[in-house]
Chain A
């Protein structure tokens, strides 16, 4: 009863169904481009899983951190909950795969993260003087000191990292020179209020400056 056309349509339908039906035989392919599951659409950060904004971060910094996670220089301390969640994502990446991931992540357009902390900007400005030596007057970051831009980053993430450095959850690995420097620098911040204040000040800086000045 079936016409050639009907048979063709049925055949095409079956082929389409086979392509789409997830119960089909054969192994599902996968790749390493899964950053957005945690870090949100185009890496704009997701407070829901404590994953910071990646969009707009310097590619050299992203690469260095992926290497550190992979090589156990970051994300190994018991107290670094988020770092420990991140580390397994990096462990299996080869240098080439890291380059491929950075090539993708490093080109997401910068979108400044919304402020959530309400500290004392003026007090923060005073605390920030110590920070500016490495991170720059406008928190725009300095490649030569391997210090990343801070302006426009999720402030809750910055606070977690300041805490982690200060408690020795991050920057404790003997080969993590930048981390050690940062850990030492947090000694200048006497308490959590100082951390909140300095981040509040960073929130007041123009992220566009850091993005424009970032080194590709």
Chain B
């Protein structure tokens, strides 16, 4: 197998792959890491300087944060939640749980054990998300490490190596090798724009060699980083043959895998022990009977001296007259409620599109991945399932819950299928990675966020990509951030620049609380 590469080869191969289909969405906001903010401090003395009646609509993380802080400051808080459960898109599925997808309701049949759960919504907490972490500390939510990338997990693509799965480590070691070889060649040939000393050139060359594990001739001839074909401990390890660059570039993962462990999804990531909804439970325990479940808001009517909220619960209409509203109901559902919002506010609400994310999971009868040296991380599959996640928790126990599909960007493929079709698709695509997958897994659950009752969407979509908002969009955002009529605060990751993270939900609530606090101060 040819293991060196000419510059022309490389560019041609690159060009050929660039044209080959759409870039795979790499996950939620990969490579986009906001600067870690200092944890917000809330001055409860200020926030509670005069008591108010407050309705919090929706018990997603932002609603829970707002309710928790407002109650702590002494306000009279009522949380109105349409669903039977709190948490919004923080949703942990375990034994007996109802997955309330409209048209496809399921009860989860996982065995009843603490480690057999599935985080169907939020699943990772980066160490830079200081504010959600602060609540974990405060509410006594125990955390453990979450492993996002494993070099022993697989990459599977029908276009690559005849569809045979390859270890992430083998794929990336080869990719880095060829990249380094190319860099080394250009460094030796190129006239660099920037003046660079001989010493610096030497250092840079050393970096490049190390990056790609090149030999003394600056050629990539395979690397032990790709794993041994045999031996390695008691016998001398015999390295694997390098996978050719042309072969590597046949897969769009060439453009993606090096990034999976960088930025926001890079180390360190954490998860609550026992499920992400331990955070929700932490808040709910504090709020007690202030939360009304199965209470669907029907109307939000602004008055000069307050807000009237009408909700339906148990077949009856209830009226809640309050001074202020903190609202995390998804904007696309808010437009369907009776309201007297201003035209500009309604227009801004109507601008935001709803996300389509899809997740699925199986209970595994045995933790077969551990027999394949996998103890966490993500397998990338170039098919609608996109990802397989292996649980970091419950190591060496008999069973585990395996995430069998996660399409963050384009979940409508699965959403449009029946439950039986979804499960079959997850099996058919998964068994290309793991032999006997079909026999090893059972009790599939699926979550199509686009169809979840009282949700009808995943993370809000302000734009069709991760670009920053343009001037018009920024204006709409400002409109929604400002309290409507001075009394209606829209909160949630939906009014952030970084959707789909709990940290954004927390910060949106903190921002609203700060505004509210200033209003109270001015009124005093």
User: Which A residues lie at the B interface, using CB under 8 A?
Assistant: 16-17, 20-23, 25-28, 30, 34, 36-42, 44-49, 51, 84-85, 87-92
Contacts and interface: CB of A to CB of B under 8 A. Distances in A.
A109 B275 CA distance: 44
Contact of A41 (B107, B338, B450): B338
Interface in B307-360: 312, 331-338, 349-350, 354
Given A41-B298, A48-B349, 12 more contacts: A20-B291, A22-B85, A22-B86, A23-B281, A41-B337, A42-B298, A48-B350, A49-B332, A49-B457, A84-B416, A85-B451, A87-B103
B289 A16 contact: yes
Contact of A22 (B103, B288, B293, B457): B293
A45 B334 CA distance: 11
B333 A22 contact: no
Contacts of A41: 298-299, 336-338
17 contacts: A17-B289, A28-B100, A37-B453, A37-B454, A41-B336, A46-B335, A48-B331, A48-B334, A48-B350, A49-B332, A49-B336, A51-B336, A88-B418, A89-B103, A90-B103, A91-B418, A92-B103
Q: A34, A41, A47, A49: which has the most chain B beta carbons within 10 Å?
A: A41
A62 to B, nearest CB: 17
Interface in B357-401: none
Nearest to B281: A23
Name the prevailing secondary structure of the A interface residues.
Answer: helix
Given A26-B96, A37-B102, A44 B336 contact: yes
Contact of B338 (A16, A34, A44, A87): A44
Contacts of B334: 48
Q: Across chains A and B, which 9 residue pairs bring their CB atoms closest together, nearest first?
A: A46-B336, A40-B336, A88-B103, A48-B332, A48-B335, A28-B98, A41-B298, A89-B103, A22-B85
B104 interface: yes
Nearest to B339: A41
Nearest to A13: B289
Interface in B201-238: none
B406 to A, nearest CB: 21
A46 to B, nearest CB: 3
Nearest to A28: B98
A56 B354 CA distance: 28
A42 B335 CA distance: 13
Sorting the interface of chain B by its residue count into under 10, 10 to 19, 20 to 34 or 35 or more gives 35 or more
B13 to A, nearest CB: 35
Q: A16, A23, A44, A48: which has the most chain B beta carbons within 10 Å?
A: A48
A37 B453 CA distance: 7
Contacts of B293: 20, 22
Contacts of B416: 84
A47 B337 contact: no
A47 B331 CA distance: 11
B104 A88 contact: yes
B296 interface: yes
Contacts of A92: 103
Given A48-B333, A48-B334, A38 B86 contact: no
A41 B82 CA distance: 12
B103 A30 contact: no
A44 B333 CA distance: 12
A41 B416 CA distance: 25
Contact of A49 (B82, B298, B333): B333
Q: B82, B98, B102, B312: which has the most chain A beta carbons within 10 Å?
A: B102
A183 B457 CA distance: 32
Interface in B284-300: 284, 288-289, 291, 293, 296, 298-299
Nearest to A91: B103
A27 B456 contact: no
